[in-house]
Structure 1
Amino acid sequence: MLMPDDDSAKVRVRNAIAKAQSLCGGSEAALARAAGYSQNAIWQANKKGRMTPEMAIRIEQATKGDVPRWQARPDVFSPPLSGECSPAFGDKASHDASPLRHPIREIVGAPERAQASFGKVA
């Protein structure tokens, strides 16, 4: 599922990628390594101003929540309600204990599981 094709959506994605790049070492390659993508995939997302929900999740994880998924993809993810607290990123115990779960994470799963399933023939 890709984003709607409007200028404000493209600006949001490009801003999210720029912020994530600066947090992950300043380059597309550094962000790509941290998020589990190729440098070309990050370049394409930035150039086109579009990213998949999975990429938004993985960038959020790579930046430890400093670039939240809903900033790049508000059409898919909602920002937290005021007073609502998200679990600490990278803390599996907090995530599992949280009653708030994101449906897309349940579908996509952790990046390690997603990477492990690529390339396998059923």
Structure 2
Amino acid sequence: MKSSLNVLLALLGLFVTSSLQFEFFEQMFGGQRQQSQQRQNVASDSSWYRQNYEAAHCSNYLCPGTLSCVHFPHHCPCAFPDNEEKAELGDGIAICASKGGYKAGETLRKIELARKGLL
């Protein structure tokens, strides 16, 4: 009786060990395959952008740079608001320019000076 119990425990141990081993290898190789698929570069053409642009629904104006839906083109947000400032130039035209300098609003001041021909 004792020997059959030992054999049963040994078989159970082998089953658990092999099960854990397969799970380990599945996570090692299956998980890496999933991660590499998620980290692929986007296409070098504009197909990814066009696909997202065409899939976006907007009843007003769809901003080409951010795919935001706004009422007027000059209401489009900057794509990187932490690094850009938005300047409205008039006639419904707005641009996003890289923030410059250490003072708040310095970029907008320089754009205004350039518009006046002083910079």
**Structure having the larger proportion of residues in helix:** 1
Structure 2 length-normalised TM: 0.23
**Structure having the larger proportion of residues in strand:** 2
Which structure: larger Rg?
2
Structure number with higher relative contact order (C-alpha < 8 Å, ≥ 6 residues apart): 1
